[in-house]
Amino acid sequence: MYDSIVIGCGAAGATVARKLAEAGKKVLILEKRNHIGGNCYDAFDKHGVLIHEYGPHIFHTNEEDVFTFLSEYTDWYLFGHEVVANVHGELIPVPFNLNTLHKVYDEKTADELEKILIEEYGEGSRVPIMKLRENENPKIKGIADYVYENIFLHYTMKQWGQTPEEIDPAVTGRVPVLVSYDNRYFQDKYQGMPKDGYTPMFAKMLEHENITVELSCDCKKRLTFLENRILFDGEDFEGDIIYTGALDELFDCEYGRLPYRSLDFQFEHFAQDSYQGRSVVNYTVSEDFTRITEFKYLTGQMDVAGTTIVKEYSFAYTGEEGEIPYYAINNEENQALYQKYADRMKNYPKVHLLGRLAEYKYYNIDAIVKKALELAETIRR
């Protein structure tokens, strides 16, 4: 009945399924959860506020093809996403930029430091904090030490359970020091949210006669991986399989569980117009939680009565019921363990690994959509 089976109905699975369906492939999507959209899933809470149940997801991209593709299924609420950090009660823009510099230092010192940063790195540059700390200029070191101590160190330890030196440089490099007055968290051309939400966007994407979606369906109950062939409902399946789930869990963690960080979300509603006056506040030196998101400011719901926030608490994923693996912990040891599982897939040339969990790496939404578009193009040839 089916030419392709897609495991998982998040951004990766929905995108690849749509493109394969348009190419004439009969596609079955098996989704373990009871909803589409993966971690981008959003829905209205009982107070009428559109919330992201798995934490805030802000779309941003410079990829024209990705923006064009997604725009087929949604209009946009576009805005420049801004974040502040609560540092000992003072709110400062993050990533640390020239506006932050002038809030932290007196005017004369800030002017001097701004000149030094521009001369050293160039106006508009993005400098990873660990690179900034390597600079031998004592004044630049002073900036680096402030940023490291007040913005990176404690926040990173809460988020990852490690110091910045212990984690992949790609992680610390995602939030650099900006030598500019741009307060936006991202500098991409397109930033914002699907106007009606992520879930309606994915629902439209999946509206195709060649796509069948089965929710609350664990793929391991339908698929059996034998030594060099795959059974679907007990019969040999020779089509393409796109797998977007956790690779270790597909094989019952035979070689050991891959380490991830998980998140606990604590939602609260308040009968007031605003809780914090902005979308996201990072708590970089205090509190047990990492940040507070106020959804009204992310989705343009300023006319909705009351406001809903969520606090995020990071913890080590254990695989217990209800826990969700969010962030792969990349280091040599973990990558070697992942490779053992990836090597198992060499027996199945028509199984394609796609996404954060299947590839054990970090992807922004636009990056995984682009990867899915490219994979679909490869398969359909």
Q: What band does 221 get if pLDDT is binned at 50, 70 and 90?
A: very high
Integer Cα distance of 363 and 189 in angstroms? 18
Q: Which residue has the tokens 């109950």?
A: 221
Q: Domain range holding 236? A: 4-78+192-257+329-380
Q: What band does 172 get if pLDDT is binned at 50, 70 and 90?
A: low
Rounded mean pLDDT, 195-222 = 98
Q: What band does 381 get if pLDDT is binned at 50, 70 and 90?
A: confident
Is the predicted pLDDT of residue 166 greater than 90, yes or no?
Answer: no
278 with 290, same domain? yes
What pLDDT is attached to residue 30?
A: 98
Integer Cα distance of 349 and 229 in angstroms? 10
In a domain, 28, yes or no: yes
Q: How many domains does the chain have?
A: 3
In a domain, 128, yes or no: yes
Mean pLDDT check: name the lowest of 111-120, 169-178, 328-337: 169-178
In a domain, 284, yes or no: yes
Rounded mean pLDDT, 226-230 = 92
Buried b (16+ CB within 10 A) or exposed e, 157-166: ebbbeeebee
User: Which whole-number Å values give the CA distances from 138 to 113, 132, 133, in the listed order?
Assistant: 11, 11, 10
Residue ending a domain, choose from 316, 344, 360: 316
Q: Supply the CATH number for residue 39's domain.
A: 3.40.50.720
What pLDDT is attached to residue 173?
A: 66
What pLDDT is attached to residue 165?
A: 74
Q: Which residue has the tokens 């990056």?
A: 367
Q: Strand, helix or coil at 94?
A: strand
Is the predicted pLDDT of residue 272 greater than 80, yes or no?
Answer: yes
Rounded mean pLDDT, 29-53 = 98
What pLDDT is attached to residue 174?
A: 64
Residue 257 DSSP one-character state: P
In a domain, 340, yes or no: yes
In a domain, 53, yes or no: yes
151 with 296, same domain? no
Mean pLDDT check: name the lowest of 31-45, 122-136, 156-170, 305-319: 156-170
In a domain, 95, yes or no: yes
What pLDDT is attached to residue 137?
A: 95
